[in-house]
């Protein structure tokens, strides 16, 4: 036979508060809290008169989403506009390439953006110099 026991109200309240905090830590706008640790960068490197652009993503947890890479080249008689869009899937700890382009010219003549969208969140990726 099971007999009921009296549990002090303080323990019940602390347990409920802990469960609520854990739930809040894992849900932020419908996304895991670790999704805020999603990292991305737009690597721009000059090599022998060419500019190479590569979007990169890494996440501590497996995640999926969409990306938009925009590159516009200005200056002189030459101009170009490149738009790459797609979806991504990244395993935990994996570095994923999100779009690549190569064009003649100088990095100073480019306007570039890489935008990620996942779980209702948007992230603009910083541009970093490549090696």
pLDDT of 36-47, one tens digit each? 578 999 999 999
Residue 11 lies in a domain: no
Residue 14 lies in a domain: no
Residue 9 lies in a domain: no
How far apart are the C-alpha atoms of 72 and 53, rounded to whole Å? Answer: 12
Residue 22 lies in a domain: no
Whether residue 3 has pLDDT greater than 70: no
Specify the number of domains making up the chain.
1
What confidence tier does 116 reach under pLDDT thresholds 50, 70, 90?
very high
Residue 65 lies in a domain: yes
How far apart are the C-alpha atoms of 112 and 87, rounded to whole Å? Answer: 19
**What integer pLDDT is reported at residue 50 of this predicted model?**
92
How far apart are the C-alpha atoms of 82 and 73, rounded to whole Å? Answer: 9
Structural domain containing residue 115: 33-129
Query: Residue 96 CA to chain centroid, in angstroms?
Result: 10
63 contacts 118 by C-beta, under 8 angstroms? yes
Mean pLDDT of the chain: 78
- pTM, two decimal places: 0.69
Q: CATH number of the domain that 81 lies in?
A: 2.60.40.2420
Q: What mean pLDDT is predicted for residues 93-119?
A: 93
């Amino acid at each position: 036979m099971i007999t009921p026991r009296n549990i002090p109200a303080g323990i019940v309240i602390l347990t409920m508060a802990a469960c609520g905090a854990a739930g809040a830590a894992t849900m932020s706008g419908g996304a895991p809290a670790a999704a805020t640790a999603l990292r991305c960068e737009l690597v721009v490197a000059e090599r022998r008169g060419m500019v190479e652009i590569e979007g990169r993503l890494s996440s501590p947890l497996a995640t999926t989403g969409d990306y938009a890479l925009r590159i516009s080249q200005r200056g002189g008689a030459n101009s170009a506009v490149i738009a790459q869009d797609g979806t991504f899937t990244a395993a935990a700890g994996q570095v994923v390439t999100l779009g690549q382009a190569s064009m003649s010219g100088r990095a100073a003549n480019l306007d570039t953006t890489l935008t990620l969208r996942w779980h209702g969140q948007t992230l603009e990726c910083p541009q970093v110099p490549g090696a």
